[in-house]
Amino acid sequence: MRRLTVILLVGLMAVFGEGRASGVERAEGQAACSRAVVRISVCNMRRSGDYDAEMISQALLGTPVKVFSTGRWNEIETPDGYRGWVHEEAISILDDEAFSGWEKAEKVVVTAMTGLVHSEPSEDSPTISDIVGGDRLEYLGTRGCWLRAGFPDGRVGYIRRADAVRESLWRRSLRQDGDAIVETALKFLGFPYIWGGMSPKGADCSGFVRAVLWMHDIVIPRDSGPQAEFCEKVPLGELRKGDLIFFGRLKDGVLTERINHVGIWIGDGRYIQSLGIVKISSLDPDDPLYDPITSVRALYGGRYLK
């Protein structure tokens, strides 16, 4: 299959209900004061600079971001246009030379759902950080069954080769077919629903979809509404494995086409979704996995694989 690496348009900021943390405001025409790179496994972005503030999205280790204000809390913007506040420990602010060097460096892609970075190539050595699927670090070589990897803040550690791979090798061997997408989606089963999440540490419905596809080098919008607009519309009866399935909103007993939920079709009338937890559900009322909450709101499918 021809490789699909889709460039996500920045600035899809409308409100679409369950699929996203809504109401993120973006100041137009304001220049970023600096650049930074996420330095922890999963960076929680909040509506304001406070741990009590609503989480609106997440960014993974290695993600380059714009920084608009600094201090104990920093206002950042991710490449997909999400803007929020993160604690200063979550990012490394870099000068132009260091930022350019990070972007050009060959990366290590974390392929395991979770893992650890050790200070030495040994399970018994101290831990430097945790990692999750989709994280990226700088590739610094190999030592036996370990990869030597660098963080944007200069830390260096070792990752088991079973948990990560050089990005160039990853892209050459990567599968992007429906069976492979479903296989990855099933690895999230039982993981918690977290509003604004899009990682193995928890995800909302659209964040779950984006996290799965990100692990296959497929980039789609963050939220369910833009995801539906991005995909080729497919009738429910023509869904294939790996397609997305979109759900509308019930208003006064009438189903509207305002998308507010999304899942991944796995075949035989079933789909996998993040709702409470990541779980398998069915459109078939006779199936023991039938979900009366979402199934009655099913509208159509979406196909991103060309």
- By CB atoms closer than 10 A (0-12, 13-18, 19+), residue 236 is middle
- Residue 306 pLDDT grade (very low, low, confident, very high; cuts 50, 70, 90): low
Which strand ranges, in their side-by-side order, compose the sheet holding 42-46?
55-60, 42-46, 83-87, 73-77, 64-69, 34-38, 91-94
Examine the pLDDT at 294 and tell me if it is beyond 70. Answer: yes
Q: Where in the chain is the domain with CATH 3.90.1720.10?
A: 178-303
Examine the pLDDT at 24 and tell me if it is beyond 60. Answer: no
* Distance (Å, whole) CA 298 – CA 283: 8
Which pair of tokens denotes residue 140? 């610094």
Higher pLDDT, 133 or 5: 133
Q: Does domain 17-101 have CATH number 2.30.30.40?
A: yes
For residues 158-174, average pLDDT: 96
Identify the CA nearest to 304 among candidates 182, 225, 213: 213
Which DSSP string do the residues of 251-287 spell out, in sequence order?
ETTEEEEEEEEEEEEEETTEEEEEESEEEEEES-TTS
Give the pLDDT confidence score for residue 20 in this predicted structure: 42
* Distance (Å, whole) CA 84 – CA 165: 30
pTM of the model: 0.87
Tell me: the pLDDT tens digits for 36-75?
A: 999 999 999 999 999 999 999 999 999 999 999 889 999 9
The hierarchical CATH code for the domain 178-303 is 3.90.1720.10
Give the pLDDT confidence score for residue 255 in this predicted structure: 86
Superfamily of domain 105-173: SH3 Domains (2.30.30.40)
For residues 168-176, average pLDDT: 94
Tell me: the pLDDT tens digits for 225-241?
A: 999 999 999 999 999 99
Mean pLDDT of the chain: 90
Q: Where in the chain is the domain with CATH 2.30.30.40?
A: 17-101, 105-173
